[in-house]
Amino acid sequence: MTLRSFPALAALVVFVTFVVFAGAGAGPAFAAGPRGPAIEITVIHATQLDGGGTIDPLLRDLPQLTREQPFVRYNNYKVLARQELPLEIGKAAASELPNGRALAVTLVDEPKDAGGPRYHVRAEIGEPGKRAFLKLLEVTASSNEPFFVGGQSYQGGTLFLELVVRP
């Protein structure tokens, strides 16, 4: 080995040592994989208006549903809020609703993979100091397929909650 190649070799050893030790602490973070599933909650205010109605353009799947109960009762649909919350097994993801009630969605167990991920989720709607409006709803939902919870009176109409599990 010549004297000229020694600085290059020393720099390489320092670089490799830095990469190995710096990466050692980051190793488990990479092993954990991508983020887990989330629940997308869309709060919809449905009303019946004289002279025709409208469907908010943010409601991708709703037009075909307006031919079915209970959606057929209304002709005006407006998105009031949309949010996405992380889902963890056994831990409620909570969201406050415009009528003062609270929605809690819980991932019950590990997703099942039968032709695509399916999620066992539990939804509850409550109001502080009062009996629960919706005590318990359990659903096994496919990823990216909406399911609806509705029936709460709100400002001359009804609130519907579109819930979608995002993988």
At 148 the three-state DSSP class reads: strand
Other beta carbons less than 10 A from residue 77's beta carbon: 22
Distance CA(60)–CA(72), nearest Å, equals 17
Amino acid 14: pLDDT: 30
Is the pLDDT at 2 greater than 60, yes or no? no
Maximum CA extent, the chain: 92
Q: Which residue has the higher pLDDT, 128 or 8?
A: 128
Q: Would you list the domain boundaries of the chain?
A: 1-33, 38-166
Amino acid 133: pLDDT: 64
Sign of CA dihedral 67, 69, 73, 77: negative
pLDDT digit string, tens, across residues 28-61? 232 333 578 999 999 999 999 988 888 899 887 6
User: In terms of residues, how long is the chain?
Assistant: 167
Average pLDDT, the chain: 78
pLDDT, average across residues 20-32: 32
| pLDDT bracket for residue 132 (50, 70, 90) | low
pLDDT, average across residues 124-137: 77
pLDDT digit string, tens, across residues 64-108? 677 788 888 999 999 999 999 999 999 999 999 999 999 999 999
To the question of pTM greater than 0.95 for the whole model, the response is no
β-partners of residue 142 are 118
β-partners of residue 122 are 106, 138
